[in-house]
A = this chain, B = another copy of it.
Amino acid sequence: MNTAAAFADYRRYPLISALTAVQTLADQVRVSWADGRVSPFHHPWLRDNCPCPQCVYTVTREQVLEIVDVPEDLAPAAARIDDTGCLCIDWQDGHASRFDPGWLRAHAYDDASRAERQAGKPKSRLWDSSLELPVFDYAELKADPQALLQWLLALRDIGLTQVRGVPTEPGSLAEVAKLIAFIRQTNFGVLFNVQSKADADSNAYTAFNLPLHTDLPTRELQPGLQFLHCLVNEAKGGESLFVDGFAIAEALRREDPAAFQALSEIPVEFRNKDRHSDYRCLAPVIALDGLGQVSEVRMANFLRGPFDAPMAQMPVLYRAYRRFIAMTREARFQVQRRLNPGELWCFDNRRTLHARHAFDPASGARHFQGCYIDRDELLSRILVLQR
Tell me the A residues contacting B by CB distance below 8 Å: 9-10, 27, 40, 42, 44-45, 48-49, 57, 59-64, 66-68, 72, 107, 109-111, 114, 117, 181-185, 187, 198-203, 205-206, 208, 211, 219-221, 267, 271, 273, 275-281, 290, 301-304, 306-311, 314-315, 318-319, 321-322, 325-326, 329, 374-376, 379-380, 383-384, 387
Contacts and interface: CB of A to CB of B under 8 A. Distances in A.
Contact of A42 (B57, B61, B281, B314): B314
A121 B27 CA distance: 47
Contact of A109 (B42, B48, B309, B319): B309
B384 A276 contact: yes
A325 B322 CA distance: 48
Given A111-B311, A221-B220, A384-B278, A211 B66 contact: yes
Contacts of A199: 59
A181 to B, nearest CB: 8
Contacts of A304: 63
27 contacts: A9-B273, A10-B278, A44-B318, A44-B322, A45-B307, A45-B314, A45-B318, A59-B199, A59-B200, A60-B202, A61-B273, A62-B302, A62-B303, A63-B301, A63-B304, A64-B203, A67-B301, A67-B325, A72-B319, A107-B308, A182-B187, A219-B376, A221-B374, A267-B290, A277-B380, A279-B379, A279-B380
Contacts of A198: 59
Nearest to A379: B280
A63 B306 CA distance: 11
A45 B138 CA distance: 47
B306 A49 contact: yes
Contact of A111 (B49, B208, B310, B374): B310
The oligomer's copy count stands at 2
Nearest to A113: B308
A373 to B, nearest CB: 11
Nearest to A281: B376
B380 A62 contact: no
Contacts of A211: 66
B308 A60 contact: no
B302 A64 contact: yes
A375 B218 CA distance: 12
Contact of A60 (B9, B201, B311): B201
Contacts of A376: 219-220, 279, 281
Contacts of A277: 380, 384
Contact of A68 (B117, B307, B325, B375): B325
Nearest to A67: B322
A290 B310 CA distance: 14
Contacts of A318: 42, 44-45, 48, 67
A380 B278 contact: yes
Contacts of A44: 318, 322
Contacts of A278: 9-10, 380, 383-384, 387
Given A60-B200, A72-B322, A107-B306, 19 more contacts: A42-B318, A45-B306, A45-B314, A48-B307, A49-B306, A57-B206, A57-B208, A59-B206, A60-B202, A63-B301, A64-B203, A67-B301, A67-B321, A67-B325, A109-B308, A114-B308, A184-B185, A273-B383, A277-B380
Among A220, A290, A302, max chain B CB count under 10 A is at: A302
A159 to B, nearest CB: 16
